[in-house]
Structure 1
Amino acid sequence: MCTLSVIVPLYNGAHTIERCLDSLCGQTIKDIEILVVDDGSLDQGADIVKRYMANDKRIKLFAQKNQGAGAARNLGISKAEGKYVGFVDCDDFADTDMFRIMVEALERTKTPVAVCQEKNVYAENGEIQLINETRFPVDTETVYSSEDVLKWLLNYTYMSLNSLCYKVVEKRIFTEYHIEVPYPHRQGEDLVASVGILTHVNEVVVVPESLYYYVHRKDSVSYAYSLKHARDIYLDWKEARTYIQKTGRRVNTDNFSLGMYFSSMKQLQWMKQDSDKRSEQARMLRKKWKAARRHYRWKPDFAGTEVPVMHKIKILSAYFHLCRPVLAGMQCLKWIPMFKYLA
């Protein structure tokens, strides 16, 4: 038994896992275990982990066939011996004080979930270049109702709330409420698990410090847009709403639904293969979204909510059936991070 288990999914991360492990082995909280789950890697990343294990007994390595980060995280949760669990992706890294600060916030406030800010960065040749970072609306550690935090997530107010990597959670939340990270090979599986967590707790402590470094590739002009990703977004939307319905949370999901519809259409429109765009699977996905829109009759609702301008644009574009021209314009500007990373 230890205070904290940090779970690291590893897939073909030989070029970044050392930086990640250095940031975890150097944490100022020492009572931790570092659980690396090799998700069927094809490179030498696991060998690097074994080398670190020889010098740090807190590191443990598990292996599974390739099923995606969600399945790797679920395995890590099942093996975790800590009271709390945290998550770090193998190509990212943490501030050396991150988990001490997060755990101390949990212990002081007696809340089951802590969330911090993150820095989006380029990291090359040992140099860190900041793209942007989340800024919560407080300057000191603050406890919010989970419903307030859930509203932020569903209205795109702070996108960092989607990610498991910026959270530390009591392990019992996963086990008692049977919360799993979607798998296999899901896009945006963090979102569903985050909604599941927030619908099953009463309070969240917000830590207004940027403690996690989310690393982007500087030479990447675009992501891989695909029919699979478009379908995954639909599944994420559907499963997130199921959590909300089952727990009876009274939150408006219209902005969230319109935004997810826009993101799914973005995947379909920005795919490179015209044959995929015209495929039967793409047609059926559009049909499912059309049926959902007709059934739920989503409407934008910005009253009493803080929705960032870019997310208002996607919500309004979806509502007024303007996804196609808006996405065409955005595609011409996707070399700009603001458009490139808009989910």
Structure 2
Amino acid sequence: MENLNDLDKSLFTPLSAEEKKFEQVVRPSVGYWKDAWRRLKSNKVAIVSLIVVILCIVAAISVPLVSSFTYDANDLTNTNANPGGAHIFGTDALGRDLFVRVMYGARYSLTIGVAAAIINLVIGVFYGGIAGFIGGKVDNVMMRIVDVLYSIPTIIYVILLMAFFTSKDGGSGIGNIIIALSISYWVGMARIVRGDILQLKEQDFVLAAKSLGASKARILVRHLIPNCVSSIIVTMTLLIPEAIFTEAFLSFLGLGINAPLASLGTLCNDAMKAIYVHPYQLFFPAAAICIIILSFNLLGDGLTEALDPKNQR
């Protein structure tokens, strides 16, 4: 090989200042999550929805703790009071402060929605992950079970389960509602995770893990499922409002939380008795349901765009 010192230096010319500009890094290298957060911040609707969700959670937790009223305190001398004064949202037919009851209802609804979504996440992720990774006859049998469950409207399962719990113990607590929602809502999560696993298990990093002697369980838990996290987060974000709406619907039908506890659906059901005389008693809990569900849905749409690697620029 020719010595570098013997090369003709006239063959090389230094770059000009203008040419050096083209070699500069225009955008710093960032990780996946940092880039996703940058894209999410650029979506004003998603950020506003995130702020509204946080405010709803904080209000549902803190307002009942600092308020001088309780959700079950009756004041028969001040029934059906109009909004204003000490009672911001007014009072109901038993003189109970509607503002505190709405905050309590939001707390129970959010608790049920988040808990049901977490349980559905665990069941759906592992069920779909196992079906997609093993494949073959196991995948065929597992997904046919999912197809059967998916062919029947989910709300029918939930109503039947809630009717069973109601007839068995005389009422429906928060735990029964969470169980009823968790038994049926995992199907969608399982199908999404299974589809992602079918694509990812053919990638080179899975072959490398197998070559290094990694077990199937380790490959699934440590390599495949973490690469599905974007789809899992988006699906979970959309599962929460769906569970909240289902719980509100069940409570409206009388299959929800037992009295004197109240969810947003129970408050709407109670307000129907005097909807033409005191419409505000229906407006506030219904508005709370709409705001919470809309915020979660818009946040889910924003996360769908932010977590999609194809949107990197």
Give the number of the structure whose residues are more often strand, by fraction. 1
Give the number of the structure whose residues are more often helix, by fraction. 2
TM-score (norm 2): 0.22
Pick 1 or 2: higher relative contact order, CA cutoff 8 A, min separation 6: 2
TM-score (norm 1): 0.21
